[in-house]
A and B are shown apart, each in its own frame.
Chain A
Amino acid sequence: MMQTKIARNIWLGIENLLLHKLRSFLTMLGVVFGVGSVVAMLSVGEGASKEALEQIRKLGSNNIIISSKKSAEEEATSTQHSHMSIYGLTYEDYHRASESFKDIEHAVPVKLMRKDSRLRERAMELRVVGTTPTWFRLVPRELIAGRRLQQSDLDKQAPVVVLTEHGARKLLATESTIGQTVRIGGSQFRVVGIVKSEGGQAGSIQIPDQEIDAYIPIDVARVYFGDIFTKRTSGGDEREKVELHQMIVQVNNESKVEAVAEGIRRMLEQFHKKEDYKVSIPLALRKQREATKRTFNIVLGSIAGISLLVGGIGIMNIMLASVTERTREIGIRRAIGAKRRQIVYQFLIETVVLSTIGGIIGLGVGALIPLLITYFSGMVTVMTWKGVLLPLLISMTIGILFGLYPAINAAKVDPIVALRHE
């Protein structure tokens, strides 16, 4: 009974709005764009934060990543012919770091090199990661087949390799994977396991693993491939000597991450003449990201809020005009016996219907924008229930808020005067 009455009132409101289709549509547009921008902003913001968190999770929030890099001075001279750059972290650094900080739970040395690999007629370039079994603790990835590296592999200097799912598919195709021999660089390696990879193709430095990784014992890497690498560039061969490309350290407590990172930085400073390393902390990165995101959201939110406000004012404007236009109708209704609040109700329903329909259309528009953003820029966007319900609620509230004044104006009309109104 109550529902049918409300439905009837809403229907009457819709009928009245349909009398002026263009006007109603134009009025609605304000809300459409307002809600659309709010929805889009929320989903972009939500996506950005989800992406950041995901990245932090992959990096590990207790981890500190120390990478080798060419110092600025080295960078300047390395273009010279037949020059060999010597830079970066050393095995010594690794031992020193893992022994001198009690808050370090695990430390992993990482040696990286690009090598062509081949299994019969199939070939691909792999990023060979010389490391210890601890790598898999710090970069936990699902094991798909076989096993991960073991301490015994290191002890025996066994020529074994753990491939990623991607690499395994490319090299081994449909053949049974474990136990196959793969040629990497000039040497034979036996495949002992396959893990999942969460790194992208391009391999952003932010994420430690890549999908073209091949994990081998670090000592094997050192013995087989040495510490000197030759890069072919347009200016000729460029040679460099790097012992360790990376060191990943896991601290036992999140609150100590920054202190340990500072300690490592100071320690490295002592033993390196040039700054040929970089210490990065995912946790600090996260904090920074969150702060940026918060400002970002506030700015975007305010812009979207302003457009909603403009939409609301548009509605109010039209409803005020509509009240004047329909003064006579109001007089008739009042003479027949409509109470003031029933007149308020009637006009309010119209604005709420208008703003809610606008909100629903805006939701569609707002859902489309993130899709386009994702499609063209690759930015992650996420629609949440909150991101859908909130704008709808806001648009209804706008309808009530901006409809109230015109509706009250309508109810104030004196029926005697209104009936004479032309």
Chain B
Amino acid sequence: MAGAGASSNDREILRLEDACKIYQMGTEQVRALAGISVSFEKGSFWAIMGPSGSGKSTMMNILGCLDRLTSGSYHLAGRDVSQLDDDSLSEFRLRYLGFIFQSFNLIPQLTVQRNIELPLYYLGWEARQSAERARELAEEVGLGDRVGHRPTELSGGQMQRVAIARALANDPQVIFADEPTGNLDSATGEQILELLIKLNEAGKTIIIVTHEASIAKHAQKRLHMLDGLIDRIEGKSDDAD
């Protein structure tokens, strides 16, 4: 089953093979992904970089099971998910993935605790257990005293911590972070990054989409995209300083 640029092994968590995503824009076809093959190992820390329009958002949507490939295949945790229907993709997101967004994407009318509980609600946890877990997670990201607050009462850094706690609630294999520090000042951004590094050290696979080199340099691998293709992949060792 080994593909061109990627080989299958039990350390692998995500693998794209000749992945293509074509959008129809009126009469024109846009090749957002033009045949990408890449493999991500368990517990790795990646940064996906590239100028806007290079296809990094599409890459993230595909990897995050939010979108489907036009052709090629995508394996997640050993299963080919490229042909799955909407419900099954939802199920994969629910069980294996966690998301962190630039604009935090918390639900404003829900308290911090309720926001963190959200994945557990869809996993069908009981109210008491999920409340307990939400409080633990809030504690873990340093917001144990804010569980009753609404997102609007929090600072940007605190909101992103809540988002991280929510992304962790379902104990995911992979966490996707889309410009997680984009709306934060550099000091707060640094703290969020440290939190992500800590999670990576605890064994989570982390994939960050960013255009900031200062963020990307913390990743073990940096994947540079250009025109829907992988321009180059740099390892941490390449990052000579």
A residues neighboring B (CB under 8 Å): 4-5, 8, 15-16, 19, 328-329, 331-340, 342, 415-416, 419
B107, A337: Cβ atoms closer than 8 Å: no
User: Which residue from chain A places its CB closest to the CB of B106 in the assembled complex?
Assistant: A332
A336, B86: Cβ atoms closer than 8 Å: no
A415, B127: Cβ atoms closer than 8 Å: no
What CA separation (Å) do A236 and B81 show in the bound complex?
Answer: 107
B94, A337: Cβ atoms closer than 8 Å: yes
> Does B179 have its Cβ within 8 Å of any Cβ on chain A?
no
Contact with A along B69-100 (1 / 0, CB 8 A): 00000000000000000110011111101010
What CA separation (Å) do A419 and B179 show in the bound complex?
Answer: 14
A329-B107, A342-B122, A415-B66 given; A337·B90 CB < 8 A:
yes
> Does B170 have its Cβ within 8 Å of any Cβ on chain A?
yes
Q: What are 14 pairs between A and B in contact, CB < 8 Å?
A: A8-B127, A16-B109, A331-B105, A332-B105, A332-B106, A332-B107, A333-B107, A335-B64, A336-B166, A337-B91, A337-B119, A337-B122, A339-B86, A416-B66
User: Which residue from chain A places its CB closest to the CB of B97 in the assembled complex?
Assistant: A337
> Does B36 have its Cβ within 8 Å of any Cβ on chain A?
no
Chain B contact patch, size range: 20 to 34
Which residues of B (105-125) have their CB < 8 Å from a CB of A?
A: 105-107, 109, 118-119, 122-124
From residue B32, how far is it (CB to closest CB) to chain A in Å?
A: 12
Listed residue (B92, B95, B99) with the most chain A CB atoms within 10 angstroms of its CB: B99
> Does B191 have its Cβ within 8 Å of any Cβ on chain A?
no
Q: Name the A residues within 8 Å of B119 (CB-CB).
A: 336-337
Listed residue (A16, A334, A337) with the most chain B CB atoms within 10 angstroms of its CB: A337
From residue B112, how far is it (CB to closest CB) to chain A in Å?
A: 15
Given A336-B99, A337-B90, A337-B97, 11 additional A-B pairs, CB 8 A: A4-B126, A5-B124, A331-B105, A332-B105, A332-B107, A335-B64, A336-B94, A337-B92, A337-B95, A340-B87, A416-B61
What CA separation (Å) do A332 and B170 show in the bound complex?
Answer: 15
A337-B94, A337-B119 given; A19·B107 CB < 8 A:
no
From residue A306, how far is it (CB to closest CB) to chain B in Å?
A: 34
Listed residue (B66, B123, B124) with the most chain A CB atoms within 10 angstroms of its CB: B66
A336, B109: Cβ atoms closer than 8 Å: no
Q: Which of B66, B109, B123 contacts A335 (CB 8 A)?
A: B66
User: Which residue from chain B places its CB closest to the CB of A335 in the assembled complex?
Assistant: B99
Q: Name the B residues within 8 Å of A333 (CB-CB).
A: 107, 118, 122
Q: Name the A residues within 8 Å of B166 (CB-CB).
A: 336
What CA separation (Å) do A8 and B94 show in the bound complex?
Answer: 20
Q: Name the B residues within 8 Å of A415 (CB-CB).
A: 66
What CA separation (Å) do A336 and B167 show in the bound complex?
Answer: 8
B87, A339: Cβ atoms closer than 8 Å: yes
Q: Name the B residues within 8 Å of A4 (CB-CB).
A: 126-127
What CA separation (Å) do A328 and B108 show in the bound complex?
Answer: 10
Q: Name the B residues within 8 Å of A329 (CB-CB).
A: 107
What CA separation (Å) do A8 and B92 show in the bound complex?
Answer: 24
B61, A336: Cβ atoms closer than 8 Å: no
User: Which residue from chain B places its CB closest to the CB of A333 in the assembled complex?
Assistant: B118
> Does B101 have its Cβ within 8 Å of any Cβ on chain A?
yes
> Does B67 have its Cβ within 8 Å of any Cβ on chain A?
yes
From residue A278, how far is it (CB to closest CB) to chain B in Å?
A: 73
From residue B22, how far is it (CB to closest CB) to chain A in Å?
A: 15
User: Which residue from chain B places its CB closest to the CB of A331 in the assembled complex?
Assistant: B105
From residue A183, how far is it (CB to closest CB) to chain B in Å?
A: 83
A337, B93: Cβ atoms closer than 8 Å: yes
What CA separation (Å) do A415 and B90 show in the bound complex?
Answer: 11
User: Which residue from chain A places its CB closest to the CB of B166 in the assembled complex?
Assistant: A336
Listed residue (A16, A333, A335) with the most chain B CB atoms within 10 angstroms of its CB: A335
Q: Name the B residues within 8 Å of A332 (CB-CB).
A: 105-107, 118
From residue A341, how far is it (CB to closest CB) to chain B in Å?
A: 8
Q: Name the B residues within 8 Å of A419 (CB-CB).
A: 101, 105
Q: Which of B87, B93, B127 contacts A336 (CB 8 A)?
A: B93
8 interchain residue pairs of minimum CB distance: A337-B94, A337-B93, A339-B90, A332-B105, A19-B109, A329-B107, A339-B87, A336-B119
